[in-house]
Amino acid sequence: MRPYQICSNCIMDTSDSGIVFDERGWCDYCNNYHRNILPNWHTDERGEREIMAVVERMKRDGQGRDHDCLIGLSGGVDSSYVTYLAKEKFGLRPLLYHVDAGWNSQQAVNNIEKLVDGLGLDLFTEVVDWPEMRDLQLAFFKAQVPHLDTPQDHAFFAGLYNFAAKHNAKYILTGANYSTECVREPLEWHYHASDVRQLRDIHRRFGTRPLKKFPLAGIFKFKIYYRFFKGVQVVKPLNNVPFFKEAAMDELVAKYGWQKYAHKHYESRFTRFYEGYWLPSKFGYDKRRAHFSSLILTGQLKRDEALAKIAIPAYTEEALAQDFEYIATKLGLSVGELQALHAGENKTYKDYANDMALIELGTKVLRALGVQRAIIR
């Protein structure tokens, strides 16, 4: 087994089996940030000019329509702040799109309502068929893979892209950003949620009911067909403006009564349970390492503060007991049955049918054509 090592600059460590360190003890995430991300990331006047040029194009293309862009809103800080910028700073007329996959926290519901009311925007909510969602979620538990959030993640992006294509929405604004996501979670921690082949294989093996209503969209459908044939463009405004997580949350709180979360992605009760307990305790993967490391690199968190934070479990014993029972009950399991799944033999995405080879080939082709840039490690 590989000796344990932690980066001397951030807090990524050998829980990522593919991590590489240089002679200084810096990891490849840190080196990639300084070599590839930072030189190509502009939040100054250049970034403002670039995003405003896109905004003006959206406004022109949206003339005569009720909305000029689409925003997927989860209630988390990234999508919430993009929504605020779109309306108040850019003067856009976005339609907000939300997927209810059955796991929303009350905070998420409240935050969405506060933004919709406070900004006077229209909201479309797609409610995923719960019996199908539960069946697929259980299938992933039974498959014993670390990427348990795939059913929810797939529903989010597939629903959004399918809706955009169906209604001829040309622009999707997302909260993806370098500021809080420049350290990407390793593939072994979180496999591609867009791999429909794997999703179907796991469901075929462990599911009990057909997926008739569940939103599906493979990576080639939204990367190629929707982009080049339907003209759907993805815009990431947070990469063109100064975006600091705490300041953004404070602004949302002050303006709209928005509620803060304990940690990134915790607007979903399932994701909180999955990232805060299941993944670190069963697989040894703590996604907070990637999240905190991103904040370290972008100057929003000191390394010693990150080390202190990650030393504290994401859950108190009382909160864990409550969420464990909640998750089990909602999935139709007893606490003992969920505990038995936790004790099962761990698997990886490689144990099931997947399109990883095609995804890698497609990525190489898009990069060779200059359509997709390789910046994130």
User: Per-residue pLDDT for the chain (377 aa), expressed as one digit of tens each?
Assistant: 889 999 999 999 999 999 999 999 999 999 999 999 999 999 999 999 999 999 999 999 999 999 999 999 999 999 999 999 999 999 999 999 999 999 998 899 999 999 999 999 999 999 999 999 999 999 999 999 999 999 999 999 999 999 999 999 999 999 999 999 999 999 999 999 999 999 999 999 999 999 999 999 988 887 788 888 888 999 999 999 999 999 999 999 999 999 988 777 677 899 999 999 999 999 999 999 999 999 999 999 999 999 999 999 999 999 999 999 999 999 999 999 999 999 999 999 999 999 999 888 877 777 776 666 656 66
Is 114 inside any structural domain?
A: yes
Nearby residues of 177 by Cβ (< 8 Å), 6 or more positions away: 78, 236, 238, 239, 243
Report the C-alpha gap between 258 and 261 in whole angstroms. 10
The CATH number linked to 253 is 3.40.50.620
Q: How many residues does the chain have?
A: 377
Backbone angles phi, psi at 139, to 5 degrees: -60, -40
Is 13 inside any structural domain?
A: no
Is 170 inside any structural domain?
A: yes
The predicted model scores a pTM of 0.94
Task: List strands edge to edge, sheet with 171-173.
Answer: 122-127, 94-100, 69-72, 171-173, 233-235
Is 110 inside any structural domain?
A: yes
β-partners of residue 122 are 95
Q: Return the pLDDT at 359.
A: 84
- Kind and range of the H or E run holding 274: none
Both tokens of residue 79?
A: 């999508």
Count of domains forming the chain: 1
Both tokens of residue 287?
A: 């996604």
Is 124 inside any structural domain?
A: yes
Q: Return the pLDDT at 1.
A: 80
Residue ranges making up the domain that contains 122: 28-368
Place of tokens 């893979």: 145
CB 54 within 8 A of CB 79: no
